[in-house]
Amino acid sequence: MIHAIRTELRRSNAIALAVLLFVIGALMIAAMAQTWHRQWLLFSYVQASGLFFLAPLALAGGAMLGRREARTRADELMGSTGRPRWQKVTPPAAALAVAVTVMHLLTLGIGAAVIGATGGFLSAGGILPALVDVTVLIGAVWVGLAAGRAWSSPLLPPALAALALVAQVGVEFTGQGSGLGNLTLMLQPPGSAWESFNAEALLGRLALGAGLLLGGLLLGFSASWLPRVAGVAVLATGMVLTVVITPLGMGARYQVNTAAQRLVCADGTPQVCVTAVHAYALPAVAPAARRALAMLAKLPGAPTRAVEWRADAPATFHSAQFRGRTPKLEPGTVTFRLEPDHRMLSTGDLFSLESAAPTGLTADIVNGAGTTMNGCQLGDTAALGAAGAWLMGVDVLPLTDQFAYDETVRADIAATVQALRELPEQEQVRRVTALRDAANACRTSDLRSILTGEPTV
Amino acid sequence: MVRAVSADEVAPSTEAWQVEAIGLRVKAGSRLAVDGLDLTLGPGVHGLLGPNGAGKTTLMRALSTVIKPKDGRLRLLGRDITDRRSLRALRSRLGYLPQHFGFYPRFTVRDYVEYMAWLREMPATAVPAATQRAIDRVGLTDRADSRLKSLSGGMLRRAGIAQAIVNEPDLLLLDEPTAGLDPEQRVEFRELLRDLGDASCVLVSTHLVEDVVAACSNVILVDQGRLVFRGLPGDLVRLGAKDGIGDSAAERGYSVLLRDHRSGS
C-alpha cells in the first residue's frame, strides 16, 4: 500500500495540486502582508481566510483525480482486479491528503519563519487553526475525488470549484446575521494582534472539516449505496454543526490570547512594557515612552512607568467598547495604545524592522496629560491635545494618527496652549494637573475651561 | 506490504477446466452479445476468432469478471463467478488485457505494472522482481522507466501484456494483444504465448488467423454469440486447403467455417 501511495504521489496530480494551492495561498498571504506583518495570530487568520479560495480548488483537484479512471478508460482493467474499492481508492486519496497537508503546513512554517526572522511573537495558538483547516482541505479533496469517480464529465472540476465559491458568496450575503453565514470560509478579521480563534470558532470549523472528511471518505471509499447515503448525511451534519456551533457577531470568533498579551519590559528605568506581540518594537518604544514619562513628570503625582494598553475582550469594532464612565487606572502607570505598524506598508517593507515614529508615540502618550487610554470616553479633543502640547512644548501634538485633528481643532489647540503659556508657571502646572485629574475621573465635558479658566460655550 | 496468504490462494489448481461456461448469455448494452455459449477451456493457448460483433469482446469481459452474465453458468478456475466470497481470490489469479488498454499516462511502465501487481494482490516482496520479469518478457526492458504517454502504440500494447502477466495468472485473457505490434514483435509475442500456455490457460481474442495458427494449441470460432467451431489450428488449415477466400489456408478455412455456419442457420 505504501508503495502504491508513493507512486500516486509521484504520478498523480497530487503534487501539481499542492503547488497550485501553495502558490495561490502564498500570493493571497503576500497581498495581505499589511494585515499580518510581524503578527503570528493575524497570519493565522489570513491563512485561514485563504481557504475561501483554496477549498474550492482542492475540491476541483480531487475531482480531476477522481475522474482519471473513466477519462483514461482504465476502469475496465481496474474492475477486473480483486482489491476492494476502499483499497483501490486509498492510494490516490492518501496522496492527495499528504500533498495538501504538506502544502498547508509548509505555508504555515514559512509564515512562522518570516515572522520569527522579523522578531515577531510566535506561539502554539497560531498553529491550531491551520491544523483544523487541514481537515477542511483533506475533506474537500476527498469529496472532489468521490464526485469525480461518480461523474466523469470534464466540466465537473471547474463546476465544483465555481459552485463552492458561489455558495460561499451566497451564504455570505444571504446569511448575514444568521448562522448560514458561518458556512463561508472567509472570516471577519480580529480587532487586535493579540486575538486568536476561540474554541467555539475552531470547533465550528472542525465540524465542517470533519463533515467533509468523513463524508468524502464514505462517498469515495464505499462500494454500496448505504454508506454513500450515510456520507451525504455526514456531510450535511457537518455543515449544520458548523452553523450551530460557530459564534455569531463581530469579534465573536476570537478570544484574547494571554500569551500574546503578556507584558515584556525594557531594561532600565523608568519601566516601559509592551505586549508580547509588540515586543519587537520595544527598542524604539522604550526611549519614546521614557521621554513621555519625563514630560509627564512636570506634573505632581506623575506616573513612573508606561505600559501598553491591553484589551480585556476581543474587539467588536464598536467605538465605545473599551471606553465608558469608569476609569481603569493602575496607580503610577500611564497606559498607551501601541500600533507600531500603523503606517502604509507594502510588501517591500516586510522585512523592515522600523516601527512607528518615536515622536508620534511620545505625543500619543502625553496627549491629555497621559489620560487618553484610561478607559474613559474621550472628551474635549482640543483640551486634551492642548495639555499634551503644553507638556511637549509644541503648539500642536504630532500624533501618530496624522488625521486626528482638523484645521479648527488645530487652531483651538494652538490658541489654548498659547493662552496657557501666558499664565504664571505654577498656574500652568496647576491647570494641566487639574485637567489630568478630571480626565482620569472620566469627565468629558468642559475640559478646556480648566485650562483657560473660562467656561466654554 | 506484507500480508497473510490464504490457503485458498496457495492451493494447487485441481479444477478440471479453467473456464467452464454452460448456456452462457451476456448482454452488451441492450443486445445479447453472447447467446447460450457452452465452452470449456483447460491449460494451453486458445485462439478466439470471429467477425466483428461476434461477441468476442463481451465474452472476454465476462470471463474477466468485469460484467456479470445475464444467464447461464460460468465457472472460472473452479469457482462460480456469482459467488461474491470467492471473487476476490479468483481475480488475483486472473490476468487481463482489455481491447482498449486504459492506462494512466503519467505512470512509467514499471509504475503501472507494479501498481497492477498490487491491485492483483501479489505479495509486496514479490512485486519488484515479478515486475522486472514481466517487462523483460515483453521486451520493454530499456523503456521500463519511460512514461506510458511517451510510448508508441505497439509498446503500449506490450506494456499492457506485461501488466496482464505480472502475477503469472492461471487464467490469462488477452483481447487483441497483437494490435499495433510489428511483424518481429508479433513473432516474439507468439513465443511468449507458447511459453505462457505451458502452465496456464491463455485465451487470445484476435482477428489475425495467422497468429492463432502459429501460437495457439486450440481454435475457437464464435459468431453471433454462439460457438461455431472448436478444433486444432491444423483443422482450420485443412478446411481451407481447397475452398474459401483468403490469402492463407487458415484464413480460407476460417471463411469456410463462417460461410457454412451462416448458410446453415
Tell me the count of A-B CB pairs closer than 8 A.
Answer: 77
B96 at the A interface (CB within 8 A)? yes
- Residues constituting chain A: 457
Question: pLDDT at residue B6 above 60?
Answer: no
Q: Which residue has the higher pLDDT, A93 or A359?
A: A93
A16 at the B interface (CB within 8 A)? no
Closest to A13 in 3D by CA, of A79, A57, A75: A57
Question: pLDDT at residue B171 above 80?
Answer: yes
pLDDT tens per residue across span A420-443: 888 898 999 999 999 999 999 888
Does residue A270 have a cis bond before it (omega within 30 degrees)?
yes
In the Cβ-directed half-sphere of A36, how many Cα atoms lie within 13 Å? 27
Question: pLDDT at residue A401 above 60?
Answer: yes
Q: Predicted ipTM?
A: 0.83
B120 at the A interface (CB within 8 A)? yes
Closest to A118 in 3D by CA, of A328, A398, A351: A351
pTM of the model: 0.85
Smallest Cβ–Cβ distance between A1 and the set B1, B98, B108 belongs to B1
Whose cell is 509564515? That residue is A111
Question: pLDDT at residue A168 above 80?
Answer: yes
- Cβ contacts (< 8 Å) between B151 and chain A: which residues? none
Smallest Cβ–Cβ distance between A82 and the set B61, B91, B103 belongs to B91
Residue of A7, A10, A77, A87 to mutate for B, most B C-beta atoms under 10 A: A77
Are A406 and A399 in contact by the 8 Å Cβ rule? The answer is: no
Give chain A's mean pLDDT.
Answer: 88
Smallest Cβ–Cβ distance between B96 and the set A10, A80, A84 belongs to A80
The pLDDT assigned to A346 comes to 37
Residue of B66, B77, B108, B151 to mutate for A, most A C-beta atoms under 10 A: B66
Smallest Cβ–Cβ distance between B115 and the set A7, A69, A75 belongs to A7
**Residue B126 grid cell:** 514479490
B127 at the A interface (CB within 8 A)? yes
Task: Give the residue from chain A lying closest to B128, CA to CA.
Answer: A3
Are A230 and A289 in contact by the 8 Å Cβ rule? The answer is: no
State the smallest CA–CA distance between residue A58 and chain B in angstroms: 20
**Sheet with strand B71-76: strands edge to edge:** B31-41, B19-28, B71-76, B79-80
Are A158 and A147 in contact by the 8 Å Cβ rule? The answer is: no
> Lowest mean pLDDT: which of A64-68, A114-118, A175-179, A232-236?
A175-179
Query: Could you give the C-alpha distances from A91 to A98, A320, A385, B32, B131, in angstroms and in order?
Result: 10, 56, 68, 37, 19
Question: pLDDT at residue A350 above 50?
Answer: no
DSSP B6-19: PHHHHSPP--S-SE
> How many other CB atoms are found less than 10 A from the CB of residue A20?
17
pLDDT tens per residue across span A5-20: 999 999 999 999 999 9
pLDDT tens per residue across span B185-212: 888 888 888 888 888 899 999 888 888 8
B254/B261 Cα distance (integer angstroms): 11
Which residues, listed in sequence order, are joined to residue B22 by a DSSP beta bridge? B73
Which residues have a Cβ under 8 Å from the Cβ of A426 and sit 6 or more positions away? none
Smallest Cβ–Cβ distance between B121 and the set A11, A77, A82 belongs to A82
- Cβ contacts (< 8 Å) between B87 and chain A: which residues? 82
